[in-house]
Structure 1
Amino acid sequence: MKTNQETTGPESSEASARKMLSRAREFLRMEAEALHHLARTIDDQICTVANLILRSNGIVAVTGVGKSRLISEKISATLASTGTRSIPLNPTDALHGDLGRLRSEDILLCLSNSGETEELTRFVVAARPLGVTIVAMTGNAGSPLARMSDFVVDMGSMPEACPLGLAPTTTTTAQMALGDALALVMLEQRGLSSEDFARYHPAGSLGQRLLRVREVMRHDDRLPIVLEGTPIKLALLIMYTTPGRPGAVVVVDGHSSLLGVLTDRDLEPIIDQEDTIFSNPIESIMHRDPPTIAPEAPVHAALDLVQRTSREHLVIVDDLQHVVGLLAASDIPGFSCTSAGAKTRIPLAS
């Protein structure tokens, strides 16, 4: 005979899943509604704080306790990535020596929904004699934290989405959103461009999409370049003494037009030959058709070219095909080559 559990199990499981999904949606709606309410009620104090930071020569130290500390790390990271010098600061660590990270020109942004967290208020009391500006982001404008702060960004009282009304949920979502809003209004005020933004995000797909080749290429004294007819020995000397050791040297004619490139890879066939070969002109062993790219090309296009041609060096040329730079694969942010073996180093002939 089947038990009642065996008979009703699948149906109960499906009903439970539907109930869970319904509750998940309800929790999300509660947090979304709290953000809508915050967007309507937030006052111009956030603008005051934004202008304060924009005029400051110091850093913004962001702090909190518990879940607010985790949010403070995210806000600090967002500020840093949008042009504001910022560090996260743990109140406990600050009370045990990290207070020395702060200077009088700095701003201390304190996150606490209740504004009554003991570790945080103790930190603020210890930080005030340093002359730092204290900013509270709190849901309780009458709290001890708010009273001892120079500026208060008031989130207002809001119920937690937690069915017990205990776990920080809605309030931490509001803190994160306010931190984003603060960072983004300052981004706009600074007139930060996508190119500026890319400088703070050089690695990964974001940096490769926004960065331009000219921003990472080797040029001026870091560009190893020789004229046609240069002896291999001298070309190698230039290759290996150029700052950054690029592992390549570009060959041009008298008009700076590209003729070829000599890399470590191109030297491999002559390893076992007589030393006299090093007196031959560089044209005898250089690679005559190196891949080229324009300085304004996006970095991801350079990475595609490296992968497509299997050449580790790209020559940067302008509209007139004059050489203006060199880009090694290792110069590309986020590039990794797991299959590349050790480079061959050729001793200079005496």
Structure 2
Amino acid sequence: MKSKKSIISSAINTLQLEAEAILGLIENVNDDFVNIINLIVKSKGRVIVTGIGKSAIIAQKIVATFNSTGTPAIFMHAADAVHGDLGMIQKDDIVICLSKSGNTPEIKVLTPLLKQSGNIMIGMVGQLDSELAMQADYVLNTAVEKEACPHNLAPTTSTTAQLAMGDALAVCLLHTRKFNEADFAKYHPGGSLGKRLYLKASDIALKNQKPQIHPSAYVKDVIVEISQNRLGAVVVVDGDVILGIITDGDIRRMLENHTNLANIRASDLMNANPKKVDKEVLAMEALEVIRKNNITQLLVTDSDKYFGIIHLHDLLQEGII
């Protein structure tokens, strides 16, 4: 069994090699890179990303990143391409082919077929004298000095370089397309990241009851209203006008300070300056108000009229926190 020192040393060496490989890519961000970005942005087609082995796995990740940031992309396995999957490539599509050596049998078979189709072919490759580099219209150089694998065999540093170059492409495309937070939310409606960008205070408040009581109501009625709606609070209103809020904490403090409850009304208990947000405010902004003021309930308004309540637990359930 390896010693603790040996394990840590191996891990640090791996990370250093891969970090150096990524930094080494900086000098490869050249005119070809710029031309590739402009071609993809102007293209009426999609980006087809292909590869074999570990490069195929990286290609799938690049496709996922492209699609989630506004660049339509499809993964095509290089081995399956020559068995029918070439049919997925349309006239205006741009093909990015990933390969460390650029000389694997599958790549050698695939590249002339791609050239015949007339599609622009981009080679993301580690050897500039390879078949892929020679056949490609544009080259993204992802050469590395050595793999992190001690035998210099298992794709480690090389696939990290491919992944980083793919991210560089995706982010540059994102900036060039002016892809913004609203666009991101459109492509990520189901995840917590997307919810942070599109979920509004109104969306959450509508799922809750709308507890309210008149300022003249007695303590018993206040307690009943709070208990029935399970939000830990009730809003004191007079028609459409918000007068204040009473929380379960206010009830506890009142019980500590008063023995005769007969004449205590809602107006005596309420906080006349409750924290409020408009219903159009994003849920993540509502969360910031809750955090800043160290509260658990927040009023939601519609043109200053009572719309509903958000509880801290609602934000937890939605994955906003």
TM score, norm. by length of structure 1: 0.60
* Kept after mapping to 1: 8 A contact 2:202/2:279: no
Structure 1 residue matching 2:121: 3-state secondary structure: strand
What residue number does 1:42 align with? Answer: 29
Candidates 313, 319, 326, aligned match of 2:303: 319
**C-alpha displacement of 1:320:** 6.2
**Pair 1:208-2:195 in alignment:** yes
Structure 2 residue matching 1:115: 3-state secondary structure: coil
Q: How far apart, in 1, do the equivalents of 2:142 and 2:203 lie?
A: 43
Q: Which amino acid aligns with 1:166?
A: L
Change (3 A) 1:200 1:215: farther
Which runs of at least 4 in structure 1 moved beyond 4 Å after TM superposition? 214-217, 299-302, 320-323
* Kept after mapping to 2: 8 A contact 1:198/1:211: yes
**C-alpha displacement of 1:161:** 1.2
Structure 2 residue matching 1:159: 3-state secondary structure: coil
What residue number does 1:252 align with? Answer: none
What residue number does 1:297 align with? Answer: 282
Q: Which amino acid aligns with 1:319?
A: S
1:167-205, CA deviations, whole angstroms, 9 ceiling, x for partnerless residues?
111110000000000110111111111121111111121
**C-alpha displacement of 1:135:** 0.4
Q: How many residue pairs end up in the alignment?
A: 238
**Pair 1:93-2:77 in alignment:** no
* Kept after mapping to 1: 8 A contact 2:25/2:141: no
Q: How far apart, in 2, do the equivalents of 1:182 and 1:80 lie?
A: 12
Change (3 A) 1:130 1:195: same
* Kept after mapping to 2: 8 A contact 1:198/1:210: yes
Query: After superposition, where does 1:124-273 map in structure 2 within 5 Å?
Result: 124-213=111-200
1:31-73, CA deviations, whole angstroms, 9 ceiling, x for partnerless residues?
1111112223432321111111011010001111000000000
Q: Relative CO higher for 1 or 2, CA cutoff 8 Å, sep ≥ 6?
A: 2
**Pair 1:30-2:17 in alignment:** yes
Structure 2 residue matching 1:89: 3-state secondary structure: strand
Identical columns (%): 40
* Kept after mapping to 2: 8 A contact 1:103/1:131: no
Q: How far apart, in 1, do the equivalents of 2:99 and 2:128 lie?
A: 11
* Kept after mapping to 2: 8 A contact 1:108/1:132: yes
Q: Which amino acid aligns with 1:58?
A: G
Q: How far apart, in 2, do the equivalents of 1:208 and 1:120 lie?
A: 41
Structure 2 residue matching 1:132: 3-state secondary structure: coil
Q: How far apart, in 2, do the equivalents of 1:119 and 1:216 lie?
A: 51
What residue number does 1:53 align with? Answer: 40
Q: How far apart, in 1, do the equivalents of 2:177 and 2:80 lie?
A: 32
What residue number does 2:101 align with? Answer: 114
TM score, norm. by length of structure 2: 0.65
* Kept after mapping to 1: 8 A contact 2:200/2:280: yes
Q: How far apart, in 1, do the equivalents of 2:27 and 2:81 lie?
A: 35
1:223-246, CA deviations, whole angstroms, 9 ceiling, x for partnerless residues?
xxxxxxxxxxxxxxxxxxxxxxxx
**C-alpha displacement of 1:150:** 1.1
Change (3 A) 1:214 1:90: farther
Q: How far apart, in 1, do the equivalents of 2:202 and 2:186 lie?
A: 9
Q: Which amino acid aligns with 2:142?
A: M
Please provide the CA RMSD for this pair: 3.5
Q: How far apart, in 2, do the equivalents of 1:153 and 1:77 lie?
A: 19
Query: After superposition, where does 1:62-101 map in structure 2 within 5 Å?
Result: 62-101=49-88
Structure 1 unaligned residues grouped into runs of 5+: 1-12, 218-256, 258-291, 303-307, 310-315, 324-331, 337-350
1:272-325, CA deviations, whole angstroms, 9 ceiling, x for partnerless residues?
xxxxxxxxxxxxxxxxxxxx97134338969xxxxx99xxxxxx97426599xx
Q: How far apart, in 2, do the equivalents of 1:86 and 1:121 lie?
A: 23
Q: Which moved more, 1:204-213 or 1:141-150?
A: 204-213
* Kept after mapping to 2: 8 A contact 1:103/1:130: no
Q: How far apart, in 1, do the equivalents of 2:85 and 2:94 lie?
A: 15
Structure 2 residue matching 1:140: 3-state secondary structure: coil
What residue number does 1:5 align with? Answer: none
**C-alpha displacement of 1:125:** 2.2
Change (3 A) 1:202 1:45: same
Q: How far apart, in 2, do the equivalents of 1:99 and 1:322 lie?
A: 59
Q: Which amino acid aligns with 2:111?
A: V
